[in-house]
Copies of this chain bind each other. A is one copy, B any other.
Amino acid sequence: MRLSRAGEYAVRCMLYLSMAGKGVLVRRKTVAREMDIPEQFLGKIAQQLARAGLMEIVQGAKGGFRLMVFPEELTLLAVVEAVIGEIFLNDCVLRPESCHRSPDCKVHQVWTEARDRFRESLQKATFASLMDCR
């Protein structure tokens, strides 16, 4: 019940891009080195972040990554879920039909509410507020 390494790397990557600023091109190699992320692996993760519209990938010489949203609009939740998928905590929260008890299971309700609160807490955290991480 923990964030995957890929998820953590995604956050660090977006943190670096946020510090550079929206639209500013940063080389993949730089992000990898500065944020301690295996460069090739970062490439994979970046694809997911780009597909989610959070960054843009520029190919070719002088290529790299470019933040596509304002840090003020970018949340920890968006970044994490772009990589690990929507957080649901327990199978039955995502697919109630996976357990015949779900219609009136109190545990199911607890998980559902816990998920909501949890996602809210990650949504409240914007990169604008996170990036002055020194």
Listed in ascending order, the chain A residues whose CB lies under 8 Å from chain B are: 1-4, 7-8, 11, 15, 76, 84, 87-91, 101, 104-107, 110-111, 113-114, 117-118, 121-122, 125, 129-134
Q: Is the CB of A113 within 8 A of B121?
A: yes
Q: Is the CB of B114 within 8 A of A133?
A: no
A90 with B1: in contact, given A110-B125, A118-B114, A133-B104 (CB under 8 Å)? Answer: no
27 A–B pairs (Cβ distance < 8 Å), ordered by A: A1-B2, A1-B3, A1-B7, A1-B87, A1-B89, A2-B91, A3-B89, A3-B91, A3-B111, A8-B90, A8-B91, A15-B107, A76-B107, A76-B110, A101-B133, A105-B133, A106-B129, A106-B132, A106-B133, A107-B130, A110-B121, A110-B122, A110-B125, A110-B130, A113-B121, A117-B121, A118-B118
